[in-house]
Chain A
Amino acid sequence: MSTGPGLDELRGCLEGIVPAGIATCDAEGMPNVTYVSQLMYVDPQHVALSFQFFNKTRENILANPVATVLTMDPDTAARYRLTVRYLRTETAGPLFERMRAKLAGIASHTGMEGVFKLLGADVYRVQAIEAVPGRELPRIAHGPALLPALRRSVDELNRCTGLDGLIDRFCACLEREFDIAHQMLLMADEAAGRLYIVASRGYERSGVGAEIPVGMGVIGVAAREKVPIRIMFPASEYAYGRVLREQAAQSGLVDRLDNEIPLPGLAEPASQLAVPVMAGGRLLAVAYVESRQECTFGYDLEDALVALGAALGLMMLVLRCPDAADEADIAQPAPAAAGGAGPPVRVRHFARDDSVFLDDDYLIKGVAGAILWKLLGDRQRDGRCEFSTRALRLDPALHLPEVVDNLDARLILLQRRLQDRCDWLRIEKTGRGRFRLAVDRETILVAEGAPRPG
C-alpha cells in the first residue's frame, strides 16, 4: 500500500454513487475497459466489485488477476486509481447480502431494476492507491459530528437501569444525536425466526408488536446474516409493505396478515439502514433507520450505529440479569381494581398461537399473549394484580425459550401494545422486576381451543 490515502479515507468513493471504471488485460496483453455497477468497501485492505454477467472483465481477471479501478469521490470529484488483485468470489453470506441490497438501490436509481442481478461479490485486495490530479470541490460536512454523538449516546445508555428505559433512551439518542427521524427497534426471537417491534419513532402508528420474519427485507437479512444492510437509493424489492404482502399472497396467508399488527414505516424509503444489535456473538435485536432522502446514511453513520448497537446489546444483557433482591415475590396479593365503566369485554385466548383478542380485535400473540392470559387468569382466580417477573419466568405455561430468556422485552412489548390499543387495560411498573395489572373494565375470559401440549 502506498503512503497516500488509505481505503478508510476513500469510502465515499466506494458507495456506488458515481460509476467506477475497471481496466483489465487479457492473456495476449490486450486491454479491456468497462463500467462497474458497484464498487464496495470491505475492509481497509479489500474492496468488492459486483459480478453480474460473465464478460471480458471476468475472463481477464481469471487469467490476469491484477487490474486498475478508477473511482471518483461523489462529493469532491477527487479521482483515485486503485491497483487491485482479484482474490475470490463470494456467492452467499454477509458480504454478498450487503452487496445485493446495495445493488438493488443502485439498480433502481439508474433505471436498471430487473437487469442488475448479483451473481457474486468479487473480492479484491487493494495493492496501491494513486490520487489522480484534477479539479476538486471543497468537502462539505453532512449531518452531525458522529464521534461526539456516539460518545454522548453511549454515556446515556450506560446510565439506564431498566430495559424499557434503555430502549427509549436508545431511540431518543438516534433522534437527538444523529438527526434520525424514522426508526424502529426490533427484538429478535431467534427460536421463532422472527423479529418484533418494541419501539418506533417517526410514524403515524407505533407498530409495536408487528413482526418481520428473519431473512425478509433489509431488517430480516441484517438479522439472518448478522451484518448491517444499507441501501442508498429507493429499492422496492426491499420495501416491507410490498415484500410482506407478496410473500403472504404466495403462501395464501393474506387473510391472516390482515389480522396482524401492521408494520409502520415509510411507504417508499429512499435510504435504509438495518444494524444488528449483538452481544457475545448472539443477535438480540435489530435497529432500523430510514429516510425519504437518498444517500442519507453513509459508511461512517453505519460504523457509529454498529458501535452504539454494541453498547446497547451489552446493556440489554446486563439489565436482563436482575438483582434477586429486587425481584422478591409478592407475598400478599393486593385487591384487584373494581370493574370500571363500559360493558364487559370478552378476552379471547387462542391456545394454538397464544393470540389474544379483545372482543373481536386482535391484540397480541406469542409469549406476550401467554403472559397477558396468565395475568388475567391469576387476577380472576385469586384477585391478584401485583406480579413479579421472577414468578413469571418460572411459569411453564409461558413457553419461554430456555436459553434466551427475553421475558423483559416481552413485557415491554405487551405494555406498549396495550398502550396503543386500549385505555382500560394497563401494565404499570411498580419497582424493579415488579409490575401491576390495572383493569378498569369487567372482563370475561374465553379460552378458545385446546391448550398447547407439553
Chain B
Amino acid sequence: MPAQCSGLLDPALAAFITSRISVQIAACDGRGPATLVRGLGCRVSDDLGTVTVLMPRSQALPVLAAIEANGRVAVVFSEPETHRTVQLKGVDARVEAVTAGDEASLQPYAAAMAARLAPFRVPEVFARALLSASPDDLVAVSFTPSQGFGQTPGPRAGMPLVDGKP
C-alpha cells in the first residue's frame, strides 16, 4: 500500500473511527428500502484510503445483499460520551472475509464500548450482549470513503467534513 493520504481521511479522523466507538452500517439496493446493521469495530488501511467495518453476518444479511448489488454504503460512527458523530459514504464497498486480527478485536471492542456506556448506567452484561458475535459469524465490508459528514447533534449536523473535521 502506498503511504499516501486518499484525501478524505486524515490521521485524526482515522484514529477517531477506529477508537472502538459505536458503528452502524447502511446500504440500499435500489429495490427495497435502505437497511442497516450495528457494527462491531472498524480498521483503516495504512494509506488511510480504505475503511473496513466489521459486523455479524447473521444480523447483516440484507445489508450485505445490498452492498453486493451496488457497492453503495453509509457508515455512521459515534462516540457515546461526547456524541461526536461522523458519517462516511462510499460507492465501491465489497464484502470480505475477516482476518485473525479482526476476530481478535471483538473482545476488546465490546469491553471498550461497555466502558463507554457505563456512565449512562448501561449494565456491562447488556453492552456485551448487544456488541458480541461469534468470530465465525464475523464479516467485513471495505470501502473507499468518498463523502464524509459531521453528524454531531446540533445545527451543523449533516455538513460535509472539512479537512477531516466535522
Binding site for B on A (CB under 8 A): 18, 21-25, 29-35, 37, 52-56, 66-68, 70, 72, 74-77, 79, 81, 83, 109-112, 115-116, 132-137, 294
Contacts and interface: CB of A to CB of B under 8 A. Distances in A.
A135 B149 contact: no
Contacts, number: 130
Interface of B: 22, 24-28, 30, 33-38, 56, 58-59, 62, 66, 70, 72-76, 78, 83, 85, 87, 89, 91, 120-122, 125-126, 129-130, 132-133, 149, 151, 153-155, 157-158
B26 A31 contact: yes
A25 B58 CA distance: 23
Contacts of B30: 25, 29
Contacts of A25: 28, 30, 33-34
Nearest to A32: B74
B38 A33 contact: no
A35 B76 contact: yes
A37 B153 CA distance: 9
Contacts of A83: 33
B88 to A, nearest CB: 10
Contacts of A112: 83, 153
B97 to A, nearest CB: 20
Given A110-B120, A112-B153, A68 B72 contact: no
A112 B78 CA distance: 14
A21 B36 CA distance: 8
Given A33-B36, A68-B35, A23 B157 contact: no
A77 B35 CA distance: 19
Given A53-B155, A53-B157, A30 B28 contact: yes
B70 A34 contact: no
A33 to B, nearest CB: 4
A33 B75 CA distance: 7
A23 B155 contact: no
Given A53-B155, A115-B153, A23 B35 contact: yes
B22 to A, nearest CB: 8
A352 B155 CA distance: 49
Given A18-B122, A70-B24, A110-B120, 14 more contacts: A23-B36, A31-B28, A31-B73, A32-B26, A52-B153, A56-B149, A74-B126, A81-B62, A110-B83, A132-B59, A133-B59, A134-B133, A135-B129, A135-B132
Contacts of A24: 34
A34 B33 contact: no
A31 B72 contact: yes
B23 to A, nearest CB: 10
Task: Please give me the 6 A-B residue pairs with the lowest Cβ-Cβ distance, nearest first.
Answer: A33-B26, A23-B26, A23-B36, A23-B34, A77-B129, A55-B158
Contacts of B151: 34-35, 55
Contacts of B59: 79, 132-134
A208 B74 CA distance: 57
Contact of B38 (A21, A31, A53, A135): A21
A68 B126 CA distance: 23
B158 A67 contact: no
A68 B38 CA distance: 13
B72 to A, nearest CB: 6
A32 B157 contact: no
A29 B70 contact: yes
A83 B62 CA distance: 12
A411 B83 CA distance: 53
Contacts of A33: 24-26, 34, 36, 74-76, 87
Given A37-B153, A79-B59, A115-B153, A29 B87 contact: no
Contacts of A116: 153
Given A34-B151, A137-B126, A294-B121, A29 B76 contact: no
17 contacts: A21-B38, A29-B70, A30-B89, A34-B76, A35-B76, A37-B153, A52-B153, A66-B33, A67-B34, A76-B129, A81-B35, A109-B120, A110-B83, A132-B59, A134-B59, A134-B130, A135-B132
A109 B122 CA distance: 12
A30 B75 CA distance: 12
Nearest to A29: B30
> Which of B33, B78, B158 has the most CB atoms of chain A within a 10 A radius of its CB?
B33
> Which of B27, B37, B75 has the most CB atoms of chain A within a 10 A radius of its CB?
B37
